[in-house]
Chains A and B, each alone.
Chain A
Amino acid sequence: MMQSKGYVVGARLPASGLFLKPANGEWRHAGFNHPFVSALDYDPADPSTVYVAAGNGLIRVTNGGESWKILTGNDVTELQDVSVDRNAPGTVYFAHTAGIRVSRDRGATWQDASAGLHRKYTAALRVDSRHSGYLLAGNEEGVFRSVDGGKSWRLAGAAGFHVLHIEQSPHDPCFWLAGTEGGGLFASSDCGASFESAGNLGVGRNLYDIAFDPGSANRIAVGGWGVGVAVTEDRGKTWELRNAGLPAPSVWSVVFDPAHPGRLYADVHEEALYVSPDAGRTWRKDGLEGAAVYRMRFVPEAAR
């Protein structure tokens, strides 16, 4: 869980960075105050190790959030996304302002993984949960796919749209969704090989997050500005805006609780974190008032 709030470099920074909430516990700020955190992922072999894409670089967080080590140097900045390869121990990818990097030794060394991409700024990145080295990346020119660990890339869809987020279904690993800046949602049903427009949801708006409900194969939530929270119960055939009870349709992030089917969290820009017990039909505050939460992840118990 991360929070960054409107801030100018050099100004006094309110509590920002990484926030943790244990099961049946309260939110707590963990580790350093940092104004720029975009995404996180954990090492499935050791969920107590979390990788954070941050302004200062790729940060490895351990010890319940309290021990941080910057794994990158002076050659990357303002990281946008991070994804751990579930099928290649120690392999971590991150997206940054000038491309994609990969480490195959848990962050000790890094190599470029964006050769062949015309435009390098990459906002979204995911490693296929089934295949080591199969990657989906979103940049200002669309969704791109690599099947060789980032050595080469091919346009998969959403051509001409700036892609803000990519997510893979945990139920059907061949089903992917990509949220864009202005272009709406794009879907792939062929394992990420191609993406096509998934309708009008979010067209003319910006879609920042996508969440698949681990407890319900056809339920998906999307968060965005102007859209707020949109939920489908039929795997994207139809969408319903579920914003009743939210103070504004300005949503950065959404996530389903894997332990409670239908429990959905959404962050409303500088308002608070909200939780819904019924997949967005009703909402109540769940802390972090005033926050802008850019990404939320459930991490297995060992991480805490």
Chain B
Amino acid sequence: MRVAAWLLLLLAPAASARTPEYDARVRSVIAAYAHPKAAGPLGYANIAAKLWLHEDAALCSRRLDELLAAGPTGDMFWMFPVTAIAYLDGGQLSSQARTALRRSFKTYMPYRGDTENHWLLYYTSLYLMAQMWPDQEGSEWYTGKSSAENRREAAEWIEGWVRLTTRRGQGEYDSPHYMGLYFLSMSYLAEWATDAAMKKRATMMLDYLIADYAAENLDGIFVGAHSRVYDNPVVEKWNNVSSDFGWLLFHLGRPLDPPDSYVIFYALASAYEPPEILKRIATDRSEPYTHYERKRTRNRWRFNDELHGPVYKTTYVRKEYAVSSDQGGILQPIQEHSWDVTWSVPDPRGVHNTLFTLQPYSSLYELETYFTFPPDTSIAGVVSSKKSYDSPDKLVGGSPYEKIFQDQDTVIALYDIAPGTRFPQINGFFSKDLAEVEEDKSGWIFARGGEALIAFRPLQPYSWKPIEGGGRRLFSPYLKNGAVVQVAARAEFGDMGAFRKAMVALPLEYHVEPAPWVRVRSLRGKTLTFAYGETPRVDGKPLDYERWPLFGGPFVEAGVDSEQLILKYGSMRRTLDFRKLTVTDTP
């Protein structure tokens, strides 16, 4: 008996190794970069992938030399790939290439940037490089600080970021693009940090960040609302980094082809495989659920008394579709996406499986709130990289004149646009992939997306504008405006006719003067009342924003300021305690 017990203990570590299916996906991502389909010189990601596979060391050394000799560029987006190369080297690189890599951290000063992901990448890379070359003087680093000083500064920032995130949420929250940079940073520290606490903290943060995504994904697609999303991926929702991670982590959906470079660096470092409880949360859509989150705004440098304001998110998910929103307002500049309906499709590639509205806001005020640009070049500077920012037909961006309320799969979006606003209108995205679209004489617009039946009630007259790439833009040039949206599964009604009948029968009252106001009976049997700028009510009871959790719902739970997270699935529990750096699993 004693011999058997020792054998079990010795075998125990194997249980935490990657599953063969996951390992195969990791290897396929790495292979895509180690052996790229497209011809051309190797980039940093290709070199890193080859080093992981221990192949072509001479070629990697030569190419790394060339890249560094051409002069580093890209700030933190240069730092993180070369940091991976430094750690994957393991004696494979030539001493010349290794020396050149080290020297570049003396001769090139990366800019630390101005976003949350910039800083996390910058300090993660600096931390690991200072760890790799300890005990060096300030003269050996671009910062002018010693290895110990660099590492301490980086560690403090990373620890502060973890503390802030687990107390108040991320500022650059739920971005289907930038999520990959947070995942890869924690993957680096989980794999390569030698400090046990940093390593543990990073591994726990991987659970935390993955849980944040897992509860709000549908077939691997990160459903809205988002702090930041780009113009095309806001409508072709598959075309985001989240698809790579949905596929890699949970075998959901389809990855990009080739996978985006963020996922390769995640795979090259820890390639952390989420625990079973996260896999269940990510994939079980057998029952509809409502999930709540609190996040924070980006740093507001001007016009506000508090550096951050709260973001209140509601996400309703079922197997056929998801509906998600924040409370509206400018929570992030430029790329905010405040609400949408996302429906499930068998193959999302090229499909615009979403519907939403927005007020296309563009202003110096917004930019000066969040950026330090001089006023005369602010908008032009943004438009140089975010082409649609100052465009009236854009489909991304928050507005101070937009207020949103969601209860389960009902959304009320109200607009009270100040006279003189640059683009005094609302835009509604109606996809080319909607079916059974009908502008009903009742005033409702009915449509079907996949198995989702959608009822959309504009509060003001509108017209249709074509969208390049397909679909139509609902255009309504009224300052006091809004829409009521109700979604249901086709399985609940059988067909559009029955859904239409049910919707038209629902009591709906509204007015737009002096300010937009709506009272509607939802399909879920609740009376929802929302006046622009006032607290929404459900069956007469005001929504309690004060008690809004950091995470709330059937799968993920966390209190504001708790520095804890509880994952829940059936009787399974995983509790992350960042104050104690402990992970507790039950059973």
Chain A positions within 8 Å of B380 at CB level? 6
Sorting the interface of chain B by its residue count into under 10, 10 to 19, 20 to 34 or 35 or more gives 35 or more
Closest-by-CB residue of B relative to A17 is B109
Could you tell me the dominant secondary structure of chain B's interface residues?
loop
| A-B contacts, CB under 8 A, total | 92
Q: Could you mark each residue 10-41 of chain A with 1 if its beta carbon is under 8 Å from any beta carbon of chain B, else 0? A: 11110000000000000000001111100000
**CB of B43, distance to nearest CB on chain A (Å):** 14
**Cβ distance B70 to chain A, nearest Cβ, rounded Å:** 10
Which interface residue of A8, A73, A74 has the most chain B CB atoms within 10 A?
A74
Most buried by A among B153, B157, B307, B374: B374
Nearest Cβ in chain B — how far from A259, in angstroms? 30
The answer to whether B301 touches A56 (Cβ under 8 A) is: no
Q: 0/1 per residue, B277-289, Cβ < 8 Å to A?
A: 0000000000000
Cα A36 to Cα B110 with chains together (Å) = 11
* 8 Å CB contact of A269 from B109, B119, B375, B377: B377
How near does chain B come to A268, taking the closest CB pair, in angstroms? Answer: 12
- A269 to chain B: which residues have CB within 8 Å? 376-377
Contacts of B114 in A (CB 8 A): 9, 55, 77-78
Kindly list chain A residues whose C-beta atoms are within 8 Å of the C-beta of B384.
6, 8
B111 lies within 8 A of A34 (CB): yes
A98 touches B142 (CB 8 A): no
Instruction: Choose among B74, B123, B375 the residue that contacts A206 (Cβ–Cβ < 8 A).
Output: B375
B35 CB-CB contact with A under 8 Å? no
Is B381's beta carbon under 8 Å from chain A? yes
For window 144-162 of chain B, which residues contact chain A by CB distance below 8 Å?
144-145, 153-154, 156-157, 160
Number of contact residues on A: which range applies? 35 or more
Among A12, A97, A208, A269, the most chain B Cβ lie within 10 Å of the Cβ of A97
Query: How far, in whole Å, are A60 and B153 apart by their CA atoms in the complex?
Result: 18
B112 touches A77 (CB 8 A): yes
Point out the residue from B109, B154, B305 that lies within 8 Å of A68, measured CB to CB: B109
Q: Which residues of B contact A213 (CB under 8 A)?
A: none
Q: A9-B75, A73-B153, A78-B372 are in contact. Are A97 and B145 (CB under 8 A)?
A: no
* Cβ–Cβ contact A69 & B377, under 8 A: no
Using Cβ atoms and an 8 Å threshold, which residues of chain A touch B375? 181, 206
Let me know if B112 and A80 touch, CB within 8 A: no
The 8 A CB mask of B168-200 against A (1 = contact, 0 = none) is: 000000000000000000000000000000000
The 0/1 profile, CB within 8 Å of A marked 1, for residues 286-320 of chain B is 00000000000001011101010000000000000
**Overall SS of chain A's interface:** loop
> Which residues of B have CB within 8 Å of A55?
111-112, 114
Is A225 an interface residue when CB atoms closer than 8 A count as contact?
yes
CB-based nearest B residue for A225: B376
- Tell me, rounded to whole Å, the shortest Cβ–Cβ distance linking B376 to chain A: 4
A250–B374 CA distance with the chains assembled, in angstroms: 12
Closest approach, in angstroms, between the C-beta of A290 and any C-beta of chain B?
A: 14
B302 adjacent to A140 (CB under 8 Å) = yes
If A74-B156, A74-B157 touch, whether A6 touches B381 (CB-CB below 8 Å) is yes
A226 CA / B138 CA spacing, docked (Å): 45
CB-CB nearest in chain A for B303 = A140
B19 at the A interface (CB under 8 A): no
| B421 beta carbon closer than 8 Å to chain A | no
Contacts of A97 in B (CB 8 A): 299, 301, 372
Report the minimal beta-carbon distance from A253 to chain B, rounded to whole angstroms. Answer: 11
**By the criterion CB–CB under 8 Å, are B74 and A10 in contact?**
yes
- Min Cβ gap A193→B in Å is 26
Most buried by A among B76, B112, B153, B307: B112
Q: Does B442 contact A (CB under 8 A)?
A: no
Q: Among A6, A32, A33, A98, which residue has its beta carbon within 8 angstroms of that of B377?
A: A6
A274 interface residue, CB < 8 Å from B?
no
* Residue among B115, B118, B157, B372 with most chain A CB within 10 A: B372
Say if the beta carbon of A88 comes within 8 Å of chain B: no
- A121 touches B (CB below 8 Å): yes
Contact in complex: A9, B299 (CB < 8 Å) = no
Contacts of B299 in A (CB 8 A): 97
- B258 interface residue per 8 A CB criterion: no
A191 CB to nearest chain B CB (Å): 28
Q: Is B77 an interface residue (CB 8 A)?
A: yes
A162→B372 CA distance, assembly (Å): 13
B582 within 8 A of A: no
Residues of A within 8 A of B (CB): 6, 8-13, 32-36, 55-56, 60, 67-70, 73-74, 77-78, 80, 97-98, 118-119, 121, 140, 162, 164, 181, 206, 208, 225, 250, 252, 269, 292
**Top 9 A-B residue pairs of the complex, sorted by shortest distance between their CB atoms:** A69-B144, A32-B109, A74-B157, A225-B376, A10-B77, A8-B385, A12-B73, A78-B372, A97-B301
Ordered by A's residue number, 9 sampled pairs between the chains whose C-beta atoms are within 8 Å are A10-B113, A11-B74, A12-B74, A34-B109, A35-B111, A98-B301, A121-B302, A269-B377, A292-B377
User: Assuming A6-B380, A121-B301, A206-B375, what are 18 further A-B pairs, CB within 8 angstroms?
Assistant: A6-B384, A10-B74, A10-B77, A12-B73, A55-B112, A56-B112, A60-B144, A69-B143, A69-B145, A70-B143, A70-B144, A74-B154, A77-B112, A118-B305, A119-B303, A119-B305, A208-B374, A292-B377
